[in-house]
Amino acid sequence: MDKRIKILQDEDSYLDIQKERKVTLVEVLDRVLDKGVVISGDIVISVADVDLIYLGLKVLVSSVETMERLRGAPMAGAQEEPT
């Protein structure tokens, strides 16, 4: 979990890297806590709001918002449409 996969120009080495793929914890957290299928209803326990907030980093959420403002309006074409 400490090495980020690098993009290589060489096709063969790319495949090698892919096999020993390692990524940072942040990359994993960004997906596992924020994405993935969420269900509700029949389950007894639903943790719908697992977020980076729970990592004791509550203050960070406001930084995210600040940055999004800094970046300006949402990008055109950011819609979730298949091409």
The contact set with another protein (CB under 8 A) reads 1, 4-5, 7, 9, 11, 14, 18, 21, 23, 25-39, 41-45, 47, 50, 52, 54-57, 59-60, 63-64, 67-68, 70-78, 80-83
Torsion angle of alpha carbons 41, 38, 62, 72, nearest 10°? Answer: -120
The rounded Cα 28 to chain-centroid distance in angstroms is: 7
Choose between 16 and 31: whose C-beta lies nearer to another protein: 31
Contact 31, 52 (CB under 8 A): no
State the nearest-atom distance from the C-beta of 16 to another protein, in Å.
14
